């Protein structure tokens, strides 16, 4: 039997989603994220507001730890890198009023995932 469940997640729903995926992984070892890059990008973009630094770090750590326990750490690291590259080097990077410096705070999370 094969069951596909599609979940749209806002970055504000990371904690609940982490619990959901943990539960799903208890039922099956074949749980995967199809759009992890989009989720990472939404979370990282919250760094534009300094008030979000702690929650962004917490959310990223939770996802990386979850992916590590599922054996998907390299995939998660690659998706985090691609989302960070898109934000800091993409075509709209120069139009960001806060520049790209706040988003570079994600680099230690990426390095620890390697």
Q: Is residue 28 part of a domain?
A: no
Q: How far apart are CA 89 and CA 42, in angstroms?
A: 16
Residue 101: phi and psi, rounded to 5, are -55, -45
Would you say the pTM of this structure is higher than 0.85?
no
Per the structure, the complete domain to which residue 45 belongs is given by: 35-113
| Number of domains, the chain | 1
Radius of gyration of the chain (CA): 14
Mean pLDDT taken over the chain: 78
Q: Is residue 88 part of a domain?
A: yes
CA angle 87, 49, 9 (to 5 degrees): 65
Q: Is residue 17 part of a domain?
A: no
Q: Is residue 8 part of a domain?
A: no
Answer whether 56's CB lies under 8 Å from 104's CB. Answer: no
CB atoms within 10 A of CB 87: 22
Q: How many residues can be counted in the chain?
A: 114
Q: Is residue 14 part of a domain?
A: no
**Per-residue confidence (pLDDT) for residue 113, from 0 to 100:** 61
Query: Which tens digit of pLDDT belongs to each residue from 33-50?
Result: 667 888 888 888 888 888
């Amino acid at each position: 039997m094969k069951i596909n469940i599609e979940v749209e997640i806002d970055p504000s729903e990371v904690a609940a989603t982490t619990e959901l995926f943990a539960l799903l992984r208890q039922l099956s070892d074949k749980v995967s994220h199809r759009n992890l890059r989009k989720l990472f990008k939404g979370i990282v973009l919250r760094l534009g507001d300094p008030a979000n630094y702690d929650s962004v770090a917490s959310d990223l750590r939770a996802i990386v730890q979850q992916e590590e326990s599922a054996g998907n750490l390299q995939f998660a690291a690659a998706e985090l890198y691609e989302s960070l590259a898109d934000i800091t080097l993409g075509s709209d990077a120069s139009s960001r009023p806060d520049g790209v410096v706040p988003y570079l705070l994600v680099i230690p999370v990426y390095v620890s995932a390697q």
